[in-house]
Amino acid sequence: MRENIWKYISAILILLLAASSIAVVLLYMQNSELQNYIPSNVTNTVIVEGSINASCNVTAYKLQLDELQRQLDFLKAQLREQNLPEGNTTIAIVPIFGLIDEYTALSIIPVLRDIAGNDSIGGVVLWIESPGGYVGPVREIYATVKKLNLIKPVVAYTGGIAASGGYYIAVGAEEIIADPLAEVGSIGVIYVHYNLQQNYEMNGIKVEVFKTGPYKDMGAEWRGLTEEEKAMITESVDTYFQAFLQAVSSGRGMSLNETKEYATGRTWFAMNVTGSLVDETGDLDYAVKVLGEMLNVTNPRIVIYSGRSSSNFAIFGSTALLLDPRYVDPYLKTG
């Protein structure tokens, strides 16, 4: 990277930290407001103290957040200018196809990191055709896309489906372009648990478990879940879900309340959610054109990296997934 680039990266990281802190405060205040909400059909007189101050505080925090976002955009532009390639500009097309697991991450992340340090490549079209996958690999790829987008513009494109974890990764890009009939969204988390206890009993199989704690075999297929364990798993699923909501809200420039309107787990045709879940509709060439306009080039060199999907994807045991539910059943494995 060129000289002075780290001072821009440091400044961006500081601003991101400040913006995240304010966003958390706003979320807390919004939740507090919801807890104090009184339905319109309640006839009791309620006196709310301090509501004006609370409203002023929310406004002040929103103004601070807007100012931090403008500063962040400015520094990001400066950082990208430092990384503009000299001579002919190359646009890289990086495919993410199929279900996403650790092997997908192991294949994609090194490519994106290499591109970040390649001075001849000006930007990336991330070609996503995926219904999602495992939480960890999805979040690792998303984080790498976000970092790359700080120094080089990334445009996400899908021609068929970018759902759940696939869409999670897409919101890390600067813009999302999709075929009008591509399916996007499926914002949500699903947890799959096998309960084969009756099957074991019917076949005369007795399982003896030696464990160091009451939860060490939580989620094991040889027994059901206790109510306490169900509550713990629900809390974990909700934590993943809140992270997903925050990623979409930040990446798409929508409030959390707006984001929640699309967080029902379903997908939409891209043409029906233009301006919200996607920026524009078009084909792969149009996505390249949009990126070229960002880079201010008219005839870039195009390099397409080889796409690699996980051929061994399977769902073993109990686990949380960022996966469109239609794709769960075919990949359930019992051993």
Q: How confident is the model at residue 115 (pLDDT cuts 50, 70, 90)?
A: very high
CA neighbor of 277 nearest in space, from 153, 148, 175:
175
Coil/strand/helix, residue 126: strand
Q: How confident is the model at residue 192 (pLDDT cuts 50, 70, 90)?
A: confident
For the beta sheet containing 190-192, the strands, ordered from the edge strand earlier in sequence to the opposite edge, are: 132-134, 319-323, 190-192
Q: What is the mean pLDDT of residues 83-102?
A: 84
Residue written as tokens 């629900």?
Answer: 234
Lowest mean pLDDT among 3-7, 43-47, 166-170, 197-201: 43-47
Q: Of 130, 164, 249, 310, which residue is the catalytic one?
A: 164
Residue 263 has pLDDT above 60, yes or no: yes
pLDDT at 128: 97
Tokens of 256: 């959390």
Q: Helices in the chain by DSSP H: which ranges?
A: 5-35, 51-82, 102-116, 135-151, 165-170, 197-202, 227-252, 256-261, 284-295
pLDDT at 165: 96
Q: Which residues pair with 130 in a beta bridge?
A: 162
Rg (alpha carbons) of the chain, rounded to whole number: 23
**How much is the pTM?**
0.76
Q: How confident is the model at residue 40 (pLDDT cuts 50, 70, 90)?
A: very low
* Higher pLDDT among residues 311 and 238, named by residue: 238
Q: What is the mean pLDDT of residues 156-183?
A: 97
pLDDT at 102: 92
pLDDT at 34: 43
Contact between 270 and 57 under an 8 Å Cβ cutoff? The reply is: no
Q: Is 206 a catalytic residue?
A: no
Q: Which residues contact 164 (CB under 8 A, 6 or more apart)?
A: 131, 132, 186, 187, 188, 321, 322, 323, 324
Q: Of 7, 62, 211, 216, which residue is the catalytic one?
A: 216
Contact between 126 and 155 under an 8 Å Cβ cutoff? The reply is: yes
Q: What is the mean pLDDT of residues 268-286?
A: 96
pLDDT at 33: 46
Q: Is 164 a catalytic residue?
A: yes
Residue 290 amino acid letter: V
